[in-house]
Amino acid sequence: MLDPVINFLNDIFWGYVLIYGLLAVGLFFTIRLGFIQFVNFGEMFRAVSGSRQGDSAGISPFQALTISLASRVGTGNLAGVAVALYLGGPGAIFWMWMVALVGMATAYSESTLAQLYKTKNEEGQYRGGPAFYIAKGLKAPWAGAIFSVCLIIAFGLVFNAVQANSIADAMQGAFGFEKIWVGVALASLTGIVIFGGIRQIARVAEIVVPFMAVLYLLVALYVVAIHIGEVPGMLGHIVQSAFGLDAAGGGLAGALLNGVKRGLFSNEAGMGSAPNIAAVATPDPHHPSSQGFVQALGVFIDTILICTATALMILLSGVMVDGGELTGTPLTQAAMTVHIGGAGQYFIAIAILFFAFTSIIGNYSYAENAMTFLKVGNMPGLTVLRLGVLAMVIWGAYESVATVFNAADASMGLMATVNLIAIVMLSGTVAKLTKDYRAQRKAGREPVFHAADYPELSGKIDQDIWNKHDPG
């Protein structure tokens, strides 16, 4: 009975509101913030490479980046890119790049706001995210509650079932493992990590995420190196196809639509997910904008580096011109088999295991912030959430999750819509913070947030958090 309603909502959200809304908001912030993702690109690396230590209440900027990458870099970077190529042709990759470049400005803005409006939970740990800046910045706690419930449903529960399903499929296909036992093993590993809370997730993510990303990119570089003579022509082919100039591509409409959709799904800029972990970080420099730069870099790594790596490995393999009907993970596996032989399907299966598992723990960390906002972030509440996550992992490993995935899409569509409206309404604050950060850098000082310079925020932000680090 609910299917028609869910499908209708998804048609509205993903057919119209978000496809155009996410792009429009990305362009809006790109222009309003003076093309920040290009002008201040170097600042992204500086903000990540600052202190590797969080204070007693937060995690380090590098840990925050790795947790957000854990969630961003999932099966979409492998299977999603293959689907975009299959449906939209090589030109879809160009539009994925464009979406990521404007999305970096959106990611900067939402994570800067998350830092600004963060608070502390019962244990004295930093928590925050869109629900907090919606409630405090816009004085709309009801909208923050809607956002939080949607986040828990989509990221905390259902998307973790989907990631588990991808892992189980890959493990069964490559190694013949029974799906149910894959689910049990995966739930056991997940439990070990998430029952340790966000700090344990941070410790795991800062080791696993760089390892998986670097290994994957090294294989991609090897593929590019052995096909180096074909790469310039392939890049030209991608650009030509993007504008419908290549008869073999998906045409302008097909390339644009599929590239935009897959790019948005992959990098999550504007969705309101990554700001939940951005708020947990202790920024270095101690200014809300610095964590915005960190999360903008996350979008760049996810799409410009990892998605491009997958696309080039597929396109350079030649498997798409053999008249086959492969798409998704099988297409990526077929391409890798061409490059490195029979080990290719095993490599992709292992990559999916790492990418999807880290997505599960990253998604959970977002849900924990939402629980704090809903005033159920205590031990009983978090225990229920954690057990729910483990149950969804086991269930998702062996069940088809299509209908539930559609419901999660609708939840994510609603939370993203609420978030986009909020960050546009708060864009004046983002612009002022950005101007302040740039001015301090230009003056040769390390940027520090001075709450006294923002009287309009009085009563809206936690003065104790910011004044403690304010030298005056």
More confident: 161 or 264: 161
- pLDDT band at 377, cuts 50/70/90? confident
Range from 109-123, 231-245, 286-300, 366-380 carrying the lowest mean pLDDT: 231-245
| Share of residues in the chain with pLDDT > 70 (%) | 93
- Residue 401 predicted with pLDDT over 70: no
More confident: 438 or 406: 438
Bridge partners of 126, per DSSP, are 120
Range from 11-15, 283-287, 439-443 carrying the lowest mean pLDDT: 11-15
List pLDDT tens digits, range 250-284: 566 778 878 887 787 778 888 899 999 999 999 88
Average pLDDT over residues 358-371: 91
* CA-based end-to-end distance of the chain: 60
Q: Report the Cα 86 to chain-centroid distance in Å.
A: 23
List pLDDT tens digits, range 26-85: 999 999 999 999 999 999 999 988 666 656 778 899 999 999 998 888 777 887 888 888
- Residue 470 predicted with pLDDT over 60: no
CA gap 302, 263 in Å, rounded: 10
- State the residue for tokens 């190196």: 225
In sequence order, the 6+-apart residues with CB closer than 8 A to the CB of 151 are: 129, 131, 272, 273, 276, 366, 367, 370, 411, 415
Average pLDDT over residues 234-241: 88
Q: Residue 129: what pLDDT?
A: 94
Three-class secondary structure of residue 169 per DSSP:
helix
More confident: 17 or 362: 362
- Residue 23 predicted with pLDDT over 50: yes
Mean pLDDT of the chain: 88
In sequence order, the 6+-apart residues with CB closer than 8 A to the CB of 238 are: 90, 91, 93, 94, 311, 315
- pLDDT band at 126, cuts 50/70/90? very high
- State the residue for tokens 């309003």: 32
Helices (H), 73-155: 79-88, 91-116, 130-137, 141-151
- pLDDT band at 321, cuts 50/70/90? low
Q: Which amino acid is at 270?
A: G
55 contacts 466 by C-beta, under 8 angstroms: no
- pLDDT band at 247, cuts 50/70/90? very low
